[in-house]
Chains A and B, each alone.
Chain A
Amino acid sequence: MKARTRIRLLLSYIVLIILAICVCYPALWTVMSSFKEGNALFSDTIIPKKLTFDHYKDLFTLGERTNRDIPYFTWYGNTLIVATWSMILGTLIQLLTAYAFSRFRFSGRKSLLSTVLVLGMFPGFMSLIAIYIFLIQLNLLDTHMALILVYSAGAALGLFVAKGFFDTIPRSLEEAARIDGADHFTIFWRVILPLSRPIITFISLTTFTGAWVDFIFARLILRSRDKWTLAVGLYDLVNSYNSTEFTLFAAGAVLVAIPITILFSFTQRFLVDGLTAGASKG
C-alpha cells in the first residue's frame, strides 16, 4: 500500500513538472529571445550566448533604423490613453448599472436584466459591421475617441460580478442611513462607495486590461499606423515581417505583457467569481 502511494506520488510529480515546463516554456523563450543578438527566430540554445538590450532600445528610438516603420513608443502611448479613458468611463458606467440593479426594485427591472442576458448572446461581431459602417458615416473612424466610446458603452453589459458584490452589502446599513435622513445620492456616496473599494479595484483593472489587450475593435477602428494600439501594432509586426524581426517582437511583447501580468496578480482573488458569474445568474 505504501509503495503504491509512493509510485502514485512520483508519477504525479513527473506529470506536474512536465506540465510546468510546457506552461513556462513559451514565456521563458520569448523573454530570452528578447535579449538575444541578431533578429532571427532561429537559435541554437534557449539561453542566448550573449545578452543585449539593443532590441529594447530599438523600440524606443525612432528613425534610427530607417528601413522599418515601427513607432512602438507612439503605440504604447495610444494604448495607455485608450485604456485609461476606457477604464474611467467604463468603471463609472458599470458601477452605476450594477448599483441600480442590485439596490433598487423598480418596475421594468426584470425585463431590463433579461435584455442584458439576451444581448450577451449576440456575437460582438454583429455590432462590429454596423459600428464600422456608422463610424465611417460619422467620420469617426480612425479616432481614439471612437474606440473609447465603444469600449465604455459595452461596459454596462458586464454588470453581473459587481451586482453580485453589491448584493452582499447588508440593506440595514442603507436603512439606518435613510432614517438619519440621507437621500439616495448621500447613501451611494457615503455608505456604499467606501464599502465597495475592492469591487471598484476589480472593475477598473478588468476594464483597463480589456482595453489594453483588445485586438478586434482596435483593428477595425484604427486605420492609420500612428493611431494604432499595441495589439494591432504587434500583430502587424508579426504579420508583415513574418519571422525576420522576431527578437524585436519579443522585446515588444515582453513590455506589453509586464503591466498586465502585474495587474493580474491583484485581480486574482476575484477570478472565480468573475468566471462563474455569467453562468449562475439565471
Chain B
Amino acid sequence: MNRHATTAGWLSVLSMGLGQFYNRQYIKGLLFLLFHAIGLSFILIKLRTHLIGMITLGDQGQHLEKVGRIYKNVEGDHSIFMLIFGVLSSLVVVVYLFVYYLNIRDAVLTGRMRNKGHEPVPFSKSMYNVATNSFPWLLLAVPILGVVFFTIMPIIFTSLVAFTNYSSPNHIPPKNLVDWVGFQTFIDLFTLNVWSNTFFGVLTWTLIWAFLATITCYFGGILVALLINQPGVRLKGMWRTIYIIPYAIPQFVSLLVFRNMLNEKFGPINQYFRYFGLEGLPWLNDPFWAKVSVIVVNMWIGIPVSMVLVLGMLTTIPKDLYEAAEIDGASPWMRFRNITMPYILFATAPILITQFAGNINSFNVIFLLTGGRPVSADYNNAGATDLLVTWLYKLTLDLNNYNVAGALGILIFLIIASLSIVSFTRTKSFKEEDMIQ
C-alpha cells in the first residue's frame, strides 16, 4: 500500500507543488508552485538566449558594415562573454533542477508518512524544522558563494575553453569569434609536432622532477630527523630550530636569493669553486645543471617540512615496543630496523603521495629559480626546466593560447585526481588495518 507516495511523487514530477497539494500541504505547495512558475519563466525568457549563445558562441564577430556611404565598424558577438553568461545560466538551471528534485522527494516522503497513517506535517512545523536545520547552511552561504564563483565557475569555464579554439592570434574576441572544436586541441597536443614535442618533453621532466623532489625531501627529512633523535646527541631542540629556518623564510625570498647565489659569473657558489681552483659550473644556464640546481634547492626548502613530520611521528611510537624488544635482546640496530623504520614508513606513506601530487604543481620553485630556462630550441615556448604548470602559466599570460592551457589543466587534474584516489583509499585501509599493535 504505497498509493499516496506514488501519486504524490508523480504529481510533483508533473509540476512542482502538485504533490504537496495532494498531500494537503497547501501553503508549501503554493510556495513550490510559485517558485516553479518564476523559475521556469525566468529560464525560458531571460536565460534562453544565453543558453543558446553558449552553444553557438556567436554568428558574427566584429565586422564592417555599410551604413549609407561609409563602412562602419560594427560590434559583433563576443564569444567569451557568451560562454561566461552561458555557464552562469547553466548554474541557475542546475539550482532550479535541484529544487525540483527536492520537491519530488518531499512529496514522496510525506506520501510515505501518510501511507503509514500519519497526518502530514503542518506548515508551521515544517517552517520550524527548516529554521533549525538551516543554521549550518546559513553559516556556509558566503563560503559556498565564494567557492562557486572563484573556484567552481573558473574550473568549469577553463574545462570548456579546452574544447574551443580560443587562442591567439586568430581567435581572440572581440575581433574574431571562438568556436567549439571538440577534442581537436587534445589531438593537436598529442600528435601535432609543434605541440607534442614540447608536451611530452615537459611531461617527462615533470614526472621525473616530481619523483626526485619527493624522494629526496622525504628521505632527507627522515635522515635528518633520525640524526637529531639519536640517543647521545645533545641540544636536540637547538638543532631542530636551526633546521627549521628554511621553512620560516618566505619561499619567494629564498628562491630569489638562490637564484643570485647560483649566478654563473658573480654568484658566491662559483666564487668558492674558483677559490679552490675549480672552473665553476653553469648552474642555471645548462639544461642538465639547471635540473640539478632546482632539485638541490628544492631539498633545502622541502627537507625541513618532512623533518618536522618525522620528528612528530617519532614521539608517537609507543615506548613499550622498545622495552619489549630490549628484553628480548634486540640490538639497537635491530630495534631501529624492525620498529622505528616500519613505523615511520607506514605512518608517512600517504603523505608521500600527496607530496608527489604537490610537486607536480610546484610552480614557485621552477618559476622563481629558473623561470623554466634555459630555453630549449626544440620546445614551443618552454625551457628545459619548465613543468606543465609553468608552461601553462606562460601559455596563458604571455601567449594567450587559452585553449591549450585549458587542455593542460584538465590533463594535470587527471594525473592528480588518480593519484589522490590511490592516496585516499590507501589512507582508509591504513586506518582500518591497525598494522602495528
Hey, which bits of chain A sit against chain B, CB under 8 A?
Answer: 5, 8-9, 12-13, 15-16, 19-20, 22-24, 26-27, 29-30, 40-43, 46, 93-94, 96-97, 99-101, 103-104, 106-107, 109, 112, 117-134, 137, 149-150, 152-157, 184, 209, 212-213, 215-216, 220, 231, 234-235, 238-239, 243, 246, 249-250, 253, 256-257, 260-261, 264-265, 268, 271-272, 275-276, 278-280, 282
Contact = CB atoms under 8 A, between A and B. Distances in A.
B45 interface: no
Contacts of A275: 305, 308-309, 351
Given A12-B227, A122-B416, A220-B397, 12 more contacts: A26-B258, A93-B142, A124-B361, A125-B396, A126-B158, A127-B154, A129-B402, A134-B154, A137-B84, A154-B146, A157-B147, A275-B309
A97 B351 contact: no
Contacts of A9: 230, 232-233
A126 B402 CA distance: 11
B41 to A, nearest CB: 28
A260 B252 CA distance: 12
Given A23-B243, A264-B248, A97 B300 contact: no
B246 interface: yes
A131 B256 contact: no
The secondary-structure label for the interface of chain B is helix
Contact of A238 (B133, B142, B256, B300): B256
B417 A121 contact: yes
Contacts of A40: 266
A261 to B, nearest CB: 5
Contacts of B363: 125, 216
A120 B409 CA distance: 13
B354 A154 contact: no
Interface residues of B, number: 92
Given A12-B233, A130-B158, A213-B250, A20 B242 contact: yes
Contacts of A122: 151, 155, 409, 413, 416
Contacts of A15: 227
A246 to B, nearest CB: 6
Contacts of B146: 93, 149, 152-156
Contact of B154 (A5, A97, A131): A131
A129 B260 contact: no
Give the 10 A-B CB pairs with smallest separation, nearest first: A130-B154, A153-B146, A127-B154, A156-B143, A153-B150, A104-B136, A272-B312, A264-B248, A213-B250, A100-B139
A125 B392 contact: yes
28 contacts: A9-B232, A41-B266, A41-B267, A43-B268, A93-B146, A97-B143, A100-B137, A100-B140, A103-B136, A112-B140, A125-B361, A125-B392, A126-B412, A128-B392, A129-B154, A129-B402, A137-B84, A155-B143, A238-B259, A250-B257, A253-B257, A271-B247, A275-B309, A276-B309, A278-B354, A279-B351, A279-B354, A282-B428
A119 B139 contact: no
A242 to B, nearest CB: 8
Contacts of B290: none
B379 interface: no
A235 B256 contact: yes
B90 to A, nearest CB: 15
B171 to A, nearest CB: 13
Contacts of A20: 239, 242-243
Contact of B260 (A24, A41, A93): A41
B118 interface: no
A130 B153 contact: yes
Contacts of A235: 252, 256, 368
Contacts of A106: 133, 136-137
Contact of B389 (A5, A43, A123): A123
Contacts of B252: 213, 215, 231, 234-235
A150 B371 CA distance: 24
Interface stretch (B56-64, B65-73, B192-200, B419-427): B419-427
Contacts of B135: 104, 184
Contacts of B154: 126-131, 134
B249 A257 contact: yes
Contacts of A16: 227-228, 233, 239
B319 interface: no
B295 interface: no
B22 interface: no
B263 interface: yes
Given A215-B368, A264-B247, A127 B150 contact: yes
B17 interface: no
B351 A24 contact: no
**Residue from A19, A128, A257, A279 having most chain B Cβ neighbours under 10 A:** A279
Contacts of A130: 153-155, 157-158, 161
Contacts of A26: 254, 257-258, 261, 300
